[in-house]
Amino acid sequence: MPRSVSLHNAHPRLKLDRKAVLRVIALLDAAADRFDGGPPDGELSLAFLTDPALADLHGQFLDDPTTTDVITFEGEPQFGTAGEVCVSADTAAAFAKKHDKDFSEELTLYVVHGWLHLAGYDDLEPAKKRRMRAAEARAMKLLSEASAVPTFSWKK
Look up residue 122 and give its amino acid.
D
Q: Is 63 annotated as a binding residue?
A: no
Task: Provide the b/e sequence for 45-69 (b: ≥16 CB within 10 Å).
Answer: bbbbbbbebbbebbeeeeeeeeebb
Per-residue pLDDT, 84: 97
Q: Is 56 annotated as a binding-site member? A: no
Let me know: does 107 contact 50? Beta carbons within 8 Å.
Answer: no
The DSSP line for 109-149 is HHHHHHHHHHTT---SSHHHHHHHHHHHHHHHHHHHHTT--
| 123 assigned to a ligand binding site | yes
The CATH number of 5-148 is 3.40.390.30
Instruction: Say which DSSP state 31 is in.
Output: T
pLDDT at 2: 81
Weakly modelled stretches of the chain, pLDDT under 50: none
Confidence at residue 156, expressed as pLDDT on a 0 to 100 scale: 83
Q: Are 142 and 115 in contact (CB under 8 A)?
A: no
Name the pTM for this structure: 0.96
State residue 135's pLDDT score. 98
